[in-house]
């Protein structure tokens, strides 16, 4: 294990550290003294402190040291802006950025890509120059979808990766523990803070039998989603094992792990096997495959590993499935699908079939799909539905262009879109139906929530394998079952589609296609990050001020929020997403969804300095301009929802000091601490009711110490002042964050010393 094997073919100096991992694991093993699941092995071998870390599945918070970070272009903007504000010369851990989310599908990749490059120029220029400056690998627009690029280039067995996108688990197809996170977590790892994760439970899925015929790897996860539902994987890693695993290709395993995000799982993972070795070899990483073989004992579960829940699936009996509409866990086997469609009144005509996306665009997927399209063409028919293909990467596109699958799709009537997310993330200028018109579409994607693909809430979106997507696109109707039903050829004769077939890996190797990677230059000192001062989408962040060391007195309550206050209420999504790289602009949505306890209304609060009623961000800005810091009073589970870091950045930016609630959602609480704010809770939750929106408060911040409450002195408008106790969960290092103004300031200070 002493060998120096590079993590990938793009970077120098970043090695796979199986030696350290096995040492860490030995320490944890001696402590736990029980067989471990594979997912546990990966996590525990990346512990920051394997000796001292408390480990209880579903209970403890693990401090981890991931091997890599990956960001997509929408989430990378704020992550990098924050990282920049720390003033560090380069990222502390290997990081890549991938331009895939901002490319809209209109007429096909050839025209759509240059248009997107034009529209998003300032974002791409910013990301490209920031990546060059801070030693980050930059995958330009057109390179492909983040998860496909990670699988092709960066994933390795036993590694731990975090990515700012929910389908990051795709890399589980190469035995990597790859976890989707918010931007704040990515920033931590870029700045060398340990990354925290609640020790996941482990759900075991034992696969027996062998896949064949129309059944594809996708059907495994479609079936699992049906069993576990969209919530069933929450707080757990799904770990596949058993003799059936070897009948799946590495990319097929990637598909299964990818869509594990749909059941809420932390991630999904497969044990290292020969199929992964073959894929590593095909993608020019034989050395990694050999290295993994030397560590293979730890790249699978221990005998007798215990799972919190166990599911068994016999692949030989697994039927192809179609899931949806509107939710990915409504799983229907193909034999029952026509009946279900009829019973539920799902629109019979299939308007569009869409294959590709990060979920299903491997060489194998494309080859099998093309074999079905070719079969149809041989019978003189084409796709009845509109048909689109999004290659997952430039490498896939170039390889299927060379080997002919792409031409088959075009002959079949398909439109080849850019190597990007496109319709999967709603970047789709769909023209064939009007908004509001009920219609059915079918795709090989992973997510089919209402309106996701085309913004039309009446679109019934179904997800399935690429194979069934093509078959139903040919038939043009939901009631077609290719396993049993016939189609008419061009002369009106009945025929049955042949079962799909295709190579898992290209016989002539992959064609890399165009060079779409930008490596950081050797000399980065002269690179300057490009942000236009007049941009409304991007804004350089300045570090937040350090604490002045004093108690804060006479603070107004900006808003006393009542009831549910989620991250959506605090920092709304939708049209605001455009500004996620511009803190000042996006701050205009701060708390506009929160309900004011004073009047039961949203976004209407009283400015205590003027007596006027105004919007929340406007009042906060007025206080800020007057040099007045303020607090928010919140109810139970304040900040539940997403890990969106903007919900913590905005109040900090507009001059908030503390958020005082009955309780917090944990991630939001940590995000507030990271930004140098004080998340505090009423030691007696009933005290929430004693506070009036027009009270003033003092926060005795000088009392802040681990495990001790601090005092809130309340000055009611009419009446006697009184003291109440506030609790907090700050530990030693987090108190430093507060004192220095933010976690990033703290890291920057450390880096300088």
- The set of residues, in sequence order, having a beta carbon less than 8 Å from that of 635 and lying 6+ positions away, is 561, 562, 563, 564, 565, 661, 662, 688
The active-site residue out of 165, 188, 365, 467 is 165
The question of whether 125 is a catalytic residue gets the answer: no
Strand intervals (E) in 584-677: 605-606, 613-614, 630-634, 656-661
Nearest to ligand F3S of 409, 547 (CB atom): 409
Nearest to ligand F3S of 419, 746 (CB atom): 419
Smallest distance, Å, CB 165 to ligand F3S? Answer: 5
Strand intervals (E) in 242-337: 267-269, 309-314, 321-323, 331-333
Part of the chain binding ligand F3S (CB under 6 A), chosen from 48-56, 142-150, 532-540, 645-653 = 142-150
Question: According to CB under 6 A, which one of 165, 635, 669, 695 is a site residue for ligand F3S?
Answer: 165
**What is the per-residue binding string for ligand F3S in 94-133, x denoting contact by CB under 6 A?**
------x---------------------------------
Could you give the CA distance from residue 281 to residue 362 in angstroms, rounded to a whole number? 15
Count of residues interacting with ligand F3S (CB under 6 A): 13
Q: Does 167 bind ligand F3S (CB under 6 A)?
A: yes
Smallest distance, Å, CB 98 to ligand F3S? Answer: 9
Smallest distance, Å, CB 74 to ligand F3S? Answer: 9
Integer CA distances (angstroms), 572 to 578, 641, 642, in order: 11, 11, 11
Could you give the CA distance from residue 534 to residue 70 in angstroms, rounded to a whole number? 28
Nearest to ligand F3S of 266, 740 (CB atom): 266
Part of the chain binding ligand F3S (CB under 6 A), chosen from 23-31, 288-296, 297-305, 420-428 = 420-428
Part of the chain binding ligand F3S (CB under 6 A), chosen from 2-10, 30-38, 141-149, 739-747 = 141-149
Could you give the CA distance from residue 704 to residue 379 in angstroms, rounded to a whole number? 77
Smallest distance, Å, CB 421 to ligand F3S? Answer: 3
- The set of residues, in sequence order, having a beta carbon less than 8 Å from that of 500 and lying 6+ positions away, is 214, 216, 368, 369, 371, 372, 467
The question of whether 165 is a catalytic residue gets the answer: yes
Task: Single out the residue of 104, 10, 7, 8 nearest to residue 515, CA to CA.
Answer: 10
Smallest distance, Å, CB 442 to ligand F3S? Answer: 15
Q: Are 559 and 596 in contact (CB under 8 A)?
A: yes
The active-site residue out of 100, 185, 454, 467 is 100
- The set of residues, in sequence order, having a beta carbon less than 8 Å from that of 750 and lying 6+ positions away, is none
Q: Does 268 bind ligand F3S (CB under 6 A)?
A: no
Residues 531-570 that bind ligand F3S (CB under 6 A): none
Smallest distance, Å, CB 168 to ligand F3S? Answer: 9
Nearest to ligand F3S of 315, 421 (CB atom): 421
Q: Does 360 bind ligand F3S (CB under 6 A)?
A: no
- The set of residues, in sequence order, having a beta carbon less than 8 Å from that of 253 and lying 6+ positions away, is 172, 173, 174, 217, 240, 245, 270, 275, 276
Part of the chain binding ligand F3S (CB under 6 A), chosen from 62-70, 145-153, 210-218, 670-678 = 145-153
Smallest distance, Å, CB 262 to ligand F3S? Answer: 10
Question: According to CB under 6 A, which one of 21, 47, 350, 358 is a site residue for ligand F3S?
Answer: 358
Part of the chain binding ligand F3S (CB under 6 A), chosen from 118-126, 292-300, 419-427, 515-523 = 419-427
The question of whether 100 is a catalytic residue gets the answer: yes
Could you give the CA distance from residue 694 to residue 703 in angstroms, rounded to a whole number? 25
Residues 427-486 that bind ligand F3S (CB under 6 A): 446-447
Nearest to ligand F3S of 392, 506 (CB atom): 392
Could you give the CA distance from residue 649 to residue 653 in angstroms, rounded to a whole number? 6
Could you give the CA distance from residue 514 to residue 658 in angstroms, rounded to a whole number? 51
Three-state SS annotation for 659-706: EEECCECHHHHHHHHHCCCEEEEECCCCHHHHCCCCCEEEECHHHCEC
- The set of residues, in sequence order, having a beta carbon less than 8 Å from that of 111 and lying 6+ positions away, is none
Question: According to CB under 6 A, which one of 88, 197, 425, 672 is a site residue for ligand F3S?
Answer: 425
Nearest to ligand F3S of 421, 608 (CB atom): 421
Smallest distance, Å, CB 520 to ligand F3S? Answer: 24
Nearest to ligand F3S of 69, 421 (CB atom): 421
- The set of residues, in sequence order, having a beta carbon less than 8 Å from that of 676 and lying 6+ positions away, is 544, 547, 652, 737, 738, 740, 741, 742, 743, 745
Q: Does 415 bind ligand F3S (CB under 6 A)?
A: no
Task: Single out the residue of 581, 494, 587 nearest to residue 538, CA to CA.
Answer: 581
Nearest to ligand F3S of 5, 150 (CB atom): 150
The active-site residue out of 166, 247, 642, 683 is 642
Q: Does 616 bind ligand F3S (CB under 6 A)?
A: no
Determine which helix (DSSP H) or strand (DSSP E) holds 137, and give its type and residue range. strand 137-139
Question: Cβ atoms within 10 A of the Cβ of 498, count?
Answer: 13
Q: Are 580 and 586 in contact (CB under 8 A)?
A: yes
The active-site residue out of 644, 646, 653, 662 is 644
H helices present in 352-480, as ranges: 363-378, 394-403, 405-411, 466-475
Determine which helix (DSSP H) or strand (DSSP E) holds 391, and give its type and residue range. none
Nearest to ligand F3S of 92, 113 (CB atom): 113
The question of whether 569 is a catalytic residue gets the answer: no
The CA angle 706-711-716, to the nearest 5 degrees, is 155
Nearest to ligand F3S of 370, 421 (CB atom): 421
Q: Does 357 bind ligand F3S (CB under 6 A)?
A: yes
Part of the chain binding ligand F3S (CB under 6 A), chosen from 124-132, 140-148, 149-157, 553-561 = 140-148
The active-site residue out of 65, 68, 101, 662 is 101
First and final C-alpha spacing in the chain: 34
Could you give the CA distance from residue 616 to residue 634 in angstroms, rounded to a whole number? 14
Part of the chain binding ligand F3S (CB under 6 A), chosen from 143-151, 589-597, 673-681, 718-726 = 143-151
The question of whether 293 is a catalytic residue gets the answer: no
Nearest to ligand F3S of 165, 239 (CB atom): 165
Smallest distance, Å, CB 466 to ligand F3S? Answer: 14
Part of the chain binding ligand F3S (CB under 6 A), chosen from 46-54, 144-152, 366-374, 375-383 = 144-152
- The set of residues, in sequence order, having a beta carbon less than 8 Å from that of 296 and lying 6+ positions away, is 272
Strand partners, 240: 205
The question of whether 57 is a catalytic residue gets the answer: no
Nearest to ligand F3S of 224, 424 (CB atom): 424
Q: Does 145 bind ligand F3S (CB under 6 A)?
A: yes
The overall longest dimension of the chain from CA atoms, in Å, is 92
Nearest to ligand F3S of 232, 391 (CB atom): 391
**Ramachandran angles phi, psi of 570, nearest 5°:** -80, -40
Question: According to CB under 6 A, which one of 69, 248, 421, 710 is a site residue for ligand F3S?
Answer: 421
Question: According to CB under 6 A, which one of 238, 415, 424, 672 is a site residue for ligand F3S?
Answer: 424
- Where do contacts with ligand F3S occur on this chain (CB under 6 A)? 100, 145-147, 165, 167, 357-358, 421, 424-425, 446-447
Active site residues: 100-101, 165, 447, 642, 644
């Amino acid at each position: 294990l002493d060998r120096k094997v590079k993590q990938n073919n793009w970077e120098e100096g970043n090695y796979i550290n199986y030696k350290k991992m096995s040492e860490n694991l030995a320490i944890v093993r001696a402590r736990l003294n029980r067989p471990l699941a594979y997912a546990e092995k990966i996590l525990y071998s990346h512990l920051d402190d394997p000796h001292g870390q408390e480990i209880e599945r579903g209970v403890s918070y693990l401090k981890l040291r991931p091997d890599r970070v990956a960001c997509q272009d929408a989430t990378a903007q704020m992550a990098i802006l924050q990282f920049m504000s720390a003033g560090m010369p380069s990222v502390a851990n290997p990081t890549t950025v991938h331009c895939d989310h901002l490319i809209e599908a209109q007429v096909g990749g050839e025209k759509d890509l240059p248009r997107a490059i034009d529209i998003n120029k300032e974002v791409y220029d910013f990301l490209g120059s920031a990546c060059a400056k801070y030693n980050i690998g930059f995958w330009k627009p057109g390179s492909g979808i983040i998860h496909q690029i990670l699988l092709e280039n960066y994933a390795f067995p036993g590694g731990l990766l975090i990515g700012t996108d929910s389908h990051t688990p795709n890399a589980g197809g190469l035995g990597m523990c790859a976890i989707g996170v918010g931007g704040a977590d990515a920033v931590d790892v870029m700045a060398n803070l340990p990354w925290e994760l609640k020790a996941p439970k482990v759900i075991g899925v034992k696969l027996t039998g062998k896949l064949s015929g129309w059944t594809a790897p996708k059907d495994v996860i479609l079936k699992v989603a049906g069993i576990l539902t969209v919530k069933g994987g929450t707080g757990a890693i799904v770990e596949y094992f058993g003799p059936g695993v070897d009948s799946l290709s590495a990319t097929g395993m990637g598909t299964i792990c990818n869509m594990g995000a749909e059941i809420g799982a932390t991630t999904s993972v497969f044990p290292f096997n020969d199929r992964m070795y073959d894929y590593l070899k095909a993608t020019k990483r034989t050395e990694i495959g050999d290295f993994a073989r030397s560590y293979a004992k730890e790249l699978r579960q221990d005998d007798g590993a215990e799972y919190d829940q166990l599911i068994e699936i016999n692949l030989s009996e697994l039927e192809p499935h179609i899931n949806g509409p509107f939710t990915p866990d409504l799983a229907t086997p193909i034999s029952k699908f026509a009946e279900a469609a009829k019973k539920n009144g799902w629109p019979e005509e299939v308007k569009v079939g869409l294959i590709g996306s990060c979920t299903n665009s491997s060489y194998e997927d494309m080859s099998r799909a093309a074999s079905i399209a070719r079969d149809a063409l041989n019978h003189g028919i084409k796709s009845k539905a509109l048909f689109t293909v999004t290659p997952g990467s430039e490498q896939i596109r170039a390889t299927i262009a060379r080997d002919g699958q792409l031409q088959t799709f075009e002959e079949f009537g398909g439109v080849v879109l850019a190597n990007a997310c496109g319709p999967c993330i709603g970047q789709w200028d769909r023209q064939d139906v009007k908004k509001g018109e009920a219609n059915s579409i079918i795709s090989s994607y992973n997510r089919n929530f209402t309106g996701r693909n085309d913004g039309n809430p009446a679109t019934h979106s179904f997800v399935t394998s690429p194979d069934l997507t093509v078959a139903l696109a040919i038939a043009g109707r939901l009631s077609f079952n290719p396993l049993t039903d016939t189609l008419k050829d061009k002369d009106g004769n009945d025929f049955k589609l042949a079962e799909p077939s295709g190579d898992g890996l290209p016989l002539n190797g992959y064609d890399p296609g165009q060079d779409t990677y930008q490596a950081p230059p050797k000399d980065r000192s002269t690179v300057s990050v490009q942000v236009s001062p007049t941009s409304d989408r991007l804004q350089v962040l300045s570090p937040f001020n350090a604490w002045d060391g004093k108690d804060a007195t006479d603070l107004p309550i900006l808003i006393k929020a009542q009831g549910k206050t989620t991250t959506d209420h605090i920092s709304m999504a939708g049209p605001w997403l455009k500004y996620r790289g511009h803190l000042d602009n996006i701050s205009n949505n701060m708390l506009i969804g929160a309900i004011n306890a004073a009047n039961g209304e949203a976004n209407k609060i009283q400015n205590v300095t003027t007596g006027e009623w105004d919007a929340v961000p406007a009042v906060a800005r007025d206080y800020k301009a007057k040099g007045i810091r303020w607090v928010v009073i919140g109810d139970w589970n304040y900040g539940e929802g997403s890990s969106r870091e903007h919900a913590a950045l905005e109040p900090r930016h507009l001059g908030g000091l503390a958020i005082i609630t009955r309780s917090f959602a944990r991630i939001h609480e940590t995000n507030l601490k990271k930004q140098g704010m004080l998340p505090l809770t009423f030691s007696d939750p009933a005290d929430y009711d004693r506070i009036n929106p027009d009270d003033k408060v003092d926060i005795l911040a000088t009392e802040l110490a681990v495990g001790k409450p601090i005092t809130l002195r309340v000055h009611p408008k009419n009446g006697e002042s009184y003291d109440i106790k506030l609790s907090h969960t700050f530990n030693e290092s987090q108190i430093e964050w507060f004192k220095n103004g933010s976690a990033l300031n703290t890291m920057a200070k450390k880096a300088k010393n």
